[in-house]
Homo-oligomer: A and B are copies of this chain.
Amino acid sequence: MAWEILGFAAAVLTMFGFLPQVIKIYRTKSVKDISLLAILQFTLGIFLWLVYGFHLKNPVIILANSVTLLILIAALVLFFKYNTKVNK
């Protein structure tokens, strides 16, 4: 049971891993040091995880990656809102 709690904690921490970054961008309105490529790579990767989760009909994979995908989309929207020049 303790192992399931550890696995659950791991899942929740990584699932919401981008949330502090999104909050920071929202507050500072600055994205100069953020790698757009990293966000795009994560967004594509998490989207593929989500598709794979639907294929496996695994509700945990579907739920976790849906949440992460929403947070990443928020990060992308804020990035393009506050980006003043082309970042790599």
Contact = CB atoms under 8 A, between A and B. Distances in A.
A13 interface: yes
B24 A33 contact: yes
Interface in A1-50: 3, 6-7, 9-14, 16-21, 23-25, 28, 30-35, 37-38, 41-42, 44-46, 48-49
A85 interface: no
Contacts of A6: 48, 51-52, 55
Interface residues of A, dominant DSSP = helix
Contact of A16 (B12, B13, B41): B41
Cβ-closest 9 pairs across A and B:
A13-B45, A10-B48, A14-B45, A20-B37, A33-B33, A21-B38, A21-B35, A20-B38, A24-B35
Interface of A: 3, 6-7, 9-14, 16-21, 23-25, 28, 30-35, 37-38, 41-42, 44-46, 48-49, 51-52, 55, 87-88
